[in-house]
Amino acid sequence: MNTIVPKVTTPLEPDAVRDSLLKAWPSIDRETAASLLSLIWVETGRGRSCHNWNVGNLSASETYPGPKYRPAWYTIGPDSSERMKRLHQMMLEKKAPSAFRAFPTLSHGMADYVSLLRKPLYAPVLEAAATGEIIPFVKALSQRYSKDYGSAHWPAFSDCREVFKPMVAHLPAPKLGSLNLPSGQGGIALALMLAKALS
């Protein structure tokens, strides 16, 4: 099945997104939860620009078996903006998505989002998320999730994380022994976590 569906705006509310994440991942810790919720909030323009319940703004390849919708730049005309024309050209060069995943409900979209992030490829993202530190998290995202992320996004992630921290404060703390952080940035992040625990 490879169905193209209409692009529909599906606004998100913080409580609903939090509850959906906890349903999809019942054992998640509070730092990882706050980090992933901040990613959703950045990706969806604080919940206002979520489409078809695609909370992670995940693209869909031509071989993706589920429903998907086309982005605004898929077709252009003489009156299209320069940005749309540029994205259309990038799409033709396989540098921008030609489709995004579409889901019937928030629960379906969140389940897919969590399933993707729990794959081995994204282990560095989850390890950085569990530290509660913005810089390692955004760096990991730029390496495994989207190359668009950089230092300019630190304030946005920080602001969005503050929205969700109180909402997940009841969740358990990360288990330091369960993190397989690599040397380098991961080691620094773990040192920060230990320093916090001892302070």
Name the domain count of the chain: 1
Give CA separation, 182 vs 31, 142, 188, 191, in Å.
19, 16, 10, 12
What is the C-alpha to C-alpha distance for residues 60 and 102, in angstroms, rounded to an integer? 9
Note down the domain range covering 192: 14-198
pLDDT tens for residues 115-159? 999 999 999 999 999 999 999 999 999 998 887 888 888 999 999
What's the pLDDT score for residue 144? 84
What is the C-alpha to C-alpha distance for residues 130 and 38, in angstroms, rounded to an integer? 13
Mean pLDDT, the chain, rounded, equals 88
194 pLDDT more than 50:
no
The answer to whether position 97 is within a domain reads: yes
What's the pLDDT score for residue 125? 94
The answer to whether position 8 is within a domain reads: no
Contact 13, 47 (CB under 8 A): yes
- E strand residue ranges, the chain: 68-69, 100-101
2 pLDDT more than 80:
no
189 pLDDT more than 50:
no
Percentage of the residues of the chain whose pLDDT score is greater than 70: 87
The answer to whether position 72 is within a domain reads: yes
